Each structure stands twice: as structure tokens, then as C-alpha cells.
Amino acid sequence: MEFKRLGSSSVRLPEIGLGTWKYAGGVAPLRAGIEHGACLIDTAEGYGTEEIVGHAVQGLRDRVFLATKASARNFRRRDLIAAAERSLRRLNTDYIDLYQLHWPNYRVPVEDSMAGMEELVDSGKIRFIGVSNFSVRELKRAQAALRRNKIMSNQVSYSLIERTIEGGLLEYCQQSEVTIIAYSPLGMDLAQITASDPEGVLSRIATARGKTEAQVALNWITANVNVVAIPKASTVAHAIEDCGASGWRLSQADSDVLETKIRYKRRGFVESAARRWARHAFQLLGRSL
Ligand code: NAP
């Protein structure tokens, strides 16, 4: 397993971690992933998987980098601290390695949330601060709200078929030493990627390299500087296979073929702004996302 630095810290993250949204695989796939080097596990208070992650890391806690997230409804300073304490209990641990704001909340000033984050760091309940689904603008504002800490990561969607972050966010994070944690790196289902690959280039490259399609799709992501990926694998076989996406590199020629032949989405400024506006309106209506 290859490792990458977490943000501007000295901590090293495996370039393949383990996602747990809609995870129902029990302890074994997570343990198998850890054994094969994927010692980064991502969960969230909203996933309902913190308890199983807590079980999986019993006896292995010091080998695992645990990342979880607060839901947007809990972004006020006191609510955030209380949410972190509940996550600690569910995870059955006394510290969270990376605590992330799950989505921007336009109803709560980010200064309030970041004050809570810094209190959590000061009390030793969390080690590092991260965000998720933040745009460049939101990231800059969140960073400006922090007095003593830096934002270490931004968890965002990135795969062969979802390449919106290439419109500026990826470059900004690379330049500012903010690790990109790529979620849904297999497009939420590998079949979604193969359906966007009319010429079958993913399969052809995988066969030529002696790798699987999932491994090629993940390797394409982690070839980027400062980017790690967190596929969700509910079986031991998938978890081990995903770990095999690390430790080798696609050639530039193969990457070029994947990038030109597989159809992908890259939302422009207007579409991204419209989606944010819709989220904002939803939150103003009192719905939590
Ligand atoms: P994903 O990892 O892109 O895809 C998961 C799917 O890929 C599952 O159906 C899984 O099957 C399958 N899979 C895994 N390894 C495979 C392999 N080697 N071969 C074939 N299929 C394989 O989708 P995701 O769960 O949306 O994203 C991953 C993680 O990112 C989440 O679990 C979560 O931790 C995080 N996430 C974060 C956000 C956010 O807003 N921050 C949003 C979405 C996701 P099995 O389950 O059967 O193994």
C-alpha cells in the first residue's frame, strides 16, 4: 500500500481507505482491508455504521485512522461538540482522527462550527479537522474561520465518471495542501462506469495490466497528487481487491485513454451554483441534509 501525507500534517494516509455508507458487511471486510493496508476508515453519524466500525477496530485502534462526520444539523458549536461525543461513544474510542463537516450548512456561520472544531482539538477528542462537499469558496471561508488549525482534507465525489473537481477544486486543494478524499470512487457501482465505457477500454486496460476493472478505476484516481480514495466494499474479496489498486501505476497512455474514452460528468460553475442554491433553499425550509 502506498501512503500520502494528510494535508500539511506529518500523518500518512493509505491511498486506499474503506468507506462505510450503506455498509452491511460486518466486521470481516473492514478487518481484511486493514490487514491489507487500508488503515483509513471513513464513516459518519448519518450512516449508522459507526458502531460496526468501532467493533472492527477493537484491538487495532492504534493502527487505524478513523474519520467520521457531523451532520449539517449539528454544526452549531455546542451541537458539534455533543455530536462528536456521541460519535466517540458509538465508535468506542476516546479520539477521532479526522472530524469532518459533512456538507456545507448555509444556516450556520462556519465560524461557529470551526470554533467547535477547535475546542474539540484542544480537548483531544479529535486530532484533525476536515470538511466534505465544500467548494473552493467555502473551503477558504472555513479556513479563515480557524485560528490555530488547518483544514486537512475535503471529501468530495471523484471517479472516472464524476470529474467535477477537475474544474478548479482539485488544483486548489493540491496547492493548499488539503488532501482530497475521493468518495464514490467506483461511481457508487462499477456497472455505472462500465455503462459509460462504450468501447470497453477499462476492461481492456485491466486485462493488459493483469488487474481488475475496479483496481484500474481506483488507481486512476490515486495517481493524482494529494488524492486518496475510499471505496465501500461489503465483502472480504472486494476489500482485498480494492487494496490491490495501490502499489503500481497506470501508464500515462492508459490514463489518457480512460480519460478520453469513458464518458464523464464535470459540472460547470452555473450548475454547481444552482445545486448549492437548491441545497441552501432546502436548508432554509428547515430540512436537514
Ligand atoms: P463506491 O465506493 O464508489 O461504490 C461502492 C460499490 O462498489 C458497492 O456496490 C461495492 O460492492 C462495489 N465494489 C467495491 N469494491 C468492488 C470491487 N473490487 N469490484 C466490484 N465492485 C466493487 O460508492 P460509495 O459507497 O458511494 O462511496 C464510497 C464511500 O465514500 C462511502 O461508503 C462513504 O464512506 C463515502 N461517501 C461520502 C459521501 C459524502 O457526502 N461525504 C457521499 C457518498 C459516499 P459491495 O458493497 O458489494 O462490495
Q: What are phi and psi of 40, to 5 degrees?
A: -120, 120
Q: Do the domain assignments include residue 289?
A: no
Taking residue 21's Cβ as centre, other Cβ atoms within 10 Å add up to 16
CA of 123 to the centre of ligand 1 (A): 33
pLDDT at 287: 61
**Tens-digit pLDDT profile for residues 242-253:** 999 999 999 999
Question: What's 246's domain CATH number?
Answer: 3.20.20.100
**pLDDT attached to residue 115:** 98
Q: What is the pLDDT of residues 110-149, one digit of tens each?
A: 999 999 999 999 999 999 999 999 999 999 999 999 999 9
Q: Which of the listed residues 100, 184, 221 should we mutate to test ligand 1's pocket, taking the one with most ligand atoms within 8 A of CB?
A: 184
Q: How far is the CA of 38 from the centre of ligand 1 (A)?
A: 14
Number of domains comprising the chain: 1
CB 61 within 8 A of CB 55: no
Residue given cell 458487511 in the structure block: 25
- Residue 88 CB neighbours (<10 A): 21
**Rg for the chain, CA atoms, rounded:** 18
207-210, Cβ contacts within 8 angstroms, sequence gap of 24 or more:
209/248, 209/250, 209/254
178-214: pLDDT as tens digits: 999 999 999 999 999 999 999 999 999 999 999 999 9
CA of 266 to the centre of ligand 1 (A): 20
Best probe residue, ligand 1, of 202, 213, 232 (max atoms within 8 Å of C-beta): 232
DSSP state of 265: B
Give residue 230's domain range.
Answer: 3-284
Q: Which atom of ligand 1 is nearest to the CA of 231?
A: 2
pTM, 2 dp: 0.96
The Cβ of residue 204 has, within 10 Å, a number of other Cβ atoms equal to 16
